[in-house]
Amino acid sequence: MKREIIRKIAAALLAFALASKFLLAGAGASFGVSQESPVFSGAALSQPARDFVLTGKFLTKDRGSANLYFHTDSNLSKGYAVAINNDATGKHWWRASGSLASTRNVAKHFARDGEWFELKIKVHGAEISTWIDGLKVVEYIEPQKPFRTKENQNMKLGSGTFALKHLGGGSVLVKDLKIEPLPPRNDISNQRTNAIDEETDGVIRLHQRDFPVLNFHVHLKGGFTADWAFAKSRKFGINYAIAPNCGRDFELNRAEKAADYLDFEAKDYPFIICMQAEGREWHKLFGRDIRGRFAYVFTDAMTFDDLSGKRTHIWRSNEVNCPAGEEQKYMDLIVDTICNILENEPADVYANPMRLPEILEKDFGKYWTPERRRRVLDSLAKSGKALEINLLTRLPDFDFIKSAKARGVKFTFGSNNAAPEFGKFEYACEAIEKCGLSPDDIFNPHSAKISK
């Protein structure tokens, strides 16, 4: 009885405070939001609000997570939720703090468990934006006809209250919460001219299913800058992991240069940073210490010594020496190289899979025989490495993906782009649908082990 009285008083006080034009959640004081906290028992936190800026400071402990709802009701049956989640190794690693849950999930964790961070949410007209510690991480414009699953059919802008709900794990604290109403916008139609057409967009369908939407293999090449990449990522709702090429034949050709890249060029990049390891000697050039500073490492079988012992990059046709009549032997060399990589090199992901030099590509099916496929699949499953589904080459094919899934292999999606235009996750959407992939089938970039 006493606990129930305390619960009602706390909820009433909080609702009363939030009903004012500006809420100051006790400058310096904080509300505990563990599972027992009345703050997180579904209490409405404010009178209805349509356009507003909300700011607050949050602290997660012991992997606690929560949602902050807006435009909702006492049953949380409508409106949107913003994630408060700093558990990068948890089940929903792709829904980091600042995510517009099930609409624009954010894969990079900008805040850490055990440390206070500032969350800002702005809703104005048709646009929803979120910031973590001053960095804009979500920029979403709700279209006239937003796509929603049956479960999320009321996940739309309107009006309603604010609410906090504990989702699990340890505890969450909140303080310095402020809500500032904004004047209505009269140009919503103009805003929506910049919205994504969700009637045809595959990415929103993945977000609505709470499927991780992350391109694990993006390069800043061909004029594609970090600022451009981040703006593009926010616009289309596709998270990017940025990979520099590291190897003997590239600018980052030793550990010291890779360290400089991380310490200076990529220090403030708002992306997951991974390593594309090049050449068969890469793990001798980049030891465990420097590899461990990247989120994960991927490599491919596109650089090796050919039948005559000459170093070959198979994407450069002028380097490929495959004499007439030696095609099957050359293909055996490629498969041997792949299996050796899978079994012996300390990479987390096998990337650019099944790639062949141009001279063999036209007879792809002839060279990728069932036996060669089985050999690579068996080595892949034994290795514990993840398999990249390449979005530009559309490899591997669906049969290979299904066979890998049946063996328990995890997957990534990657572009290996040389220019700013590399699609909008189309092949990923197809592969997920055709091969029955689930979120559990996707590699967690925050839990890489082999390269460490």
Q: Report pLDDT digits (tens) over 212-222.
A: 999 999 999 99
Does 274 lie in the same domain as 139?
no
CA dist 245 → 208, 273, 300, 313, 352 (Å): 33, 12, 12, 14, 14
429, two tokens: 């959407």
The 10s digit of each residue's pLDDT in 361-384 is: 999 999 999 999 999 999 999 999
Domain co-membership, 300 together with 164: no
pLDDT at 46: 54
* Rounded-to-integer distance, Cα 452 and Cα 449, Å: 5
Please state, in angstroms and as integers, the Cα–Cα distance from residue 167 to each residue in 81, 84, 118, 122, 336, following that order: 12, 9, 19, 23, 48
The pLDDT, as a whole number, for residue 161 is: 86
pLDDT for 267: 96
How far, in Å, CA of 201 to CA of 195, rounded? 11
272 assigned to some structural domain: yes
Strand order in the sheet with 272-273: 214-218, 239-242, 272-273
| 200 domain residue, yes or no | no
Phi-psi region of 237 (alpha: psi -120 to 50; beta: other; left: phi over 0): left
Is 201 inside a domain boundary? no
Task: For residue 160, give the nearest of 73, 100, 67 by alpha carbon.
Answer: 73
Residue 199 covered by a domain: no
Range of the domain at 276: 211-447
CATH number for the domain harbouring residue 278: 3.20.20.140
Asked if residue 239 is part of any domain, the answer here is: yes
Unique residue bearing structure tokens 């004499």: 323
Q: Output the domain CATH number for residue 162.
A: 2.60.120.560
Task: Please name which of 274, 211, 207, 270 lies closest in space to residue 236, comparing C-alpha atoms.
Answer: 207
One domain for residues 359 and 246: yes
Residue 50, class by beta-carbon neighbours within 10 Å (0-12 exposed, 13-18 middle, 19+ buried)? middle
Instruction: Say what percent of the chain tops pLDDT 70.
Output: 90
Task: Give pLDDT tens digits for 56-68.
Answer: 999 999 999 999 9
pTM value?
Answer: 0.91
114 inside domain: yes
Residue-level pLDDT at 26: 42
The DSSP secondary-structure symbol of 26 reads: -
Q: What are phi and psi of 139, to 5 degrees?
A: -145, 95
Strand partners, 277: 246, 299
Please state whether beta strands 297-299 and 52-61 pair in parallel, antiparallel, or not at all (unpaired).
unpaired
205 within some domain: no
222 in the same domain as 175: no
Residue ending a domain, among 194, 227, 248, is: 194
What is the Cβ-side half-sphere exposure of residue 426, based on CA atoms within 13 angstroms? 8
Over residues 386-431, the pLDDT tens digits come to 999 999 999 999 999 999 999 999 999 999 999 999 999 999 999 9
pLDDT category, 18, cuts 50, 70, 90?
very low
Same domain, 168 and 132: yes
Domain annotation covers residue 6 = yes
How many domains, the chain? 2
Contacts of 202 (CB under 8 A, 6+ apart): 424, 425, 426, 429
For range 319-325, the mean pLDDT: 95
236 and 153 in a common domain: no
